[in-house]
Amino acid sequence: MSQAALRSFTAPKESPRTVAVIDIGATSIRMAIAEIRSGESGSGGEVRTLETLLQSVELGREVFQNRRLSRKNIEKVASVLIRYKQTLREYGVTSPEDVCVVATTAVREAANRVAFTDRIFIATGFHVVPIDEAEVSRITYMGVMPHILGSSELGEGKSIVVEVGGGNTEMLIIRGGNVLHSQSVRLGSLRLLNTLEGVRVSTARRRTILESHIRRMLAQLIDSIQTDATMHLIGLGGEMRFAANQLLGDWDTDSLAKISTKRLERLTEEILGLEPDAIVRRYDASFVEAETLGPSLLAYTLLAKHYELEHLFVCDTNLRDGLLHDMAAGKQLDDDFRNQIVRSAISLGRKFDFDETHARNVAELARKLFEQLADEHQLDSRNEVILFVAALLHEIGLIVNVRSNHKHALYLIRNSELFGLSQGDLMMIGLVARYHRRASPQPSHEGYSTLNQSKRVIVSKLAAILRLAIALDDTRSGRIRDVQCKRGTKEFLIKAIGVDDVSLEQVAMRGSSGLFRDTFGLPVLLRAGK
């Protein structure tokens, strides 16, 4: 081959992967189909949306009233998803790994959600995963942060990121790129409408009742926000996108929209003054959208007026975009998001007056052990985060009682909120912390008995590593900062780098390494290292 031919020759580019995300919400089922192109070295790459579909449903209305999904609506969802599946076939999407189907508040709160997910699987082959508030917060954070960091105006002060959904209102408070607080309250447009069910009142009286309920529920959010800096409000969701398009007309959805609070208030009053049929005709909306538009916009307006904001921002980020980027990135936690989780855990520890220096030392030692024992435990990076947070919080039960503090730690962690961590994550973290001392995991133990085998094994592995890390800082001096691990034929050898005398830690290690021996099959030997 000539040199010219060699110069012109390029390796064929990898074909894009076509994937889809389906979001079963309280008022609609939405599907986004996209192409994912791998980035350099296989990293998460570009996501290009090919098509979006929407079908209105009324799941939220009946669940928020009677806690169950009717057979009629379950079959309607199945029918919609069967049609979506046919569309996916036309795009060549047939592998279950290329389709992510999630459900939010309405399905999550339904007493018969298992029957619902089973029926959908039988009808379509789709595995529906109900996602909780923590997952929604994580995706919201990942979507909105580039806009906040890229804005000189939002770089100063606090940003209150709010999405009023059909069932819940989700809120993040962000300052300097850090999440100060995350919260979910049971305030949603459909729940608000349920308060008016069967009530025959004038339009003006209807608006007054809605405002009263919204103010009472918003108080839960407002109490969590300290007004010690300039405040900014960023609204998410379909209703705010509607408002931005109506008020601006030429909004570039790739950037934040900035709208006047007074203009939003006038639009809200106009919407609230119309019957749903009139909203459908005037704005080409579905009937479900027409019903929820007014209550949702009123909530945003009242929040902006409470902080006396002259304007607020609208961001086009949504759950489906976030899930598509997750698929492109392989669902790995990036460093920034991991750091947000750790900051949240440290804040919780301070709330319970933990020994922060010891907790940080143990967490760092646990992380280093996790990394060096990767060939043994075969766990991914998300489990490292679970171990790290458990190490930070393993002693918070001391605030309740020294005796059984490990059990108190489990209770406190399970019943706390940590940004970015689901209820399942909190259960795992709580159990790892619970087993930092005393008895090994037993089938009869609360929480542990509910786990499947794979998660039980993970808890045992992480708890075993945590016990080693605690033993390494038994003196609470932080003098052991670095370790080297090596597997021998008869034991695991841990060298404490830069420490000449480890006699005290050796005593602690002999008493704490039993779970590691039972889990990994070899005892642990600790020695001083160079």
Same domain membership, residue 318 and residue 347: no
Distance, in Å, from the CA atom of 338 to the CA atom of 344, rounded to the nearest integer, reads 10
Domain end position, chosen among 131, 163, 196: 131
Whole-number pLDDT of residue 197: 73
- Give CA 318 to chain center in angstroms: 13
Whole-number pLDDT of residue 244: 93
Whole-number pLDDT of residue 52: 93
Place of tokens 């490990």: 406
- Give CA 212 to chain center in angstroms: 30
Whole-number pLDDT of residue 134: 84
Same domain membership, residue 72 and residue 57: yes
- DSSP structure class, residue 155: T
Same domain membership, residue 110 and residue 42: yes
Distance, in Å, from the CA atom of 527 to the CA atom of 499, rounded to the nearest integer, reads 9
Whole-number pLDDT of residue 201: 66
CB atoms < 10 A from the CB of 203, how many?
11
CATH number at residue 238: 3.30.420.150
Q: Mean pLDDT, consecutive 10-residue segments, the chain of 530 residues? A: 46 76 94 83 70 92 92 97 97 93 94 96 96 86 87 86 90 88 85 77 79 83 77 93 90 89 95 90 85 92 93 92 83 78 94 96 97 95 96 97 94 92 93 94 92 95 97 95 93 94 95 95 91
Same domain membership, residue 300 and residue 172: yes
132: nearest Cα among 158, 108, 96: 108
Three-state DSSP state, 493:
strand
CATH number at residue 29: 3.30.420.40
Geometric angle at alpha carbon 43, from 39 and 49, rounded to 5°: 55
- DSSP structure class, residue 14: P
Distance, in Å, from the CA atom of 61 to the CA atom of 293, rounded to the nearest integer, reads 15
Residue 524 pairs with which residues in a beta bridge?
Answer: 492
Whole-number pLDDT of residue 13: 57
- Domain that includes residue 290, residue range: 134-322
Same domain membership, residue 228 and residue 124: no
Same domain membership, residue 298 and residue 165: yes
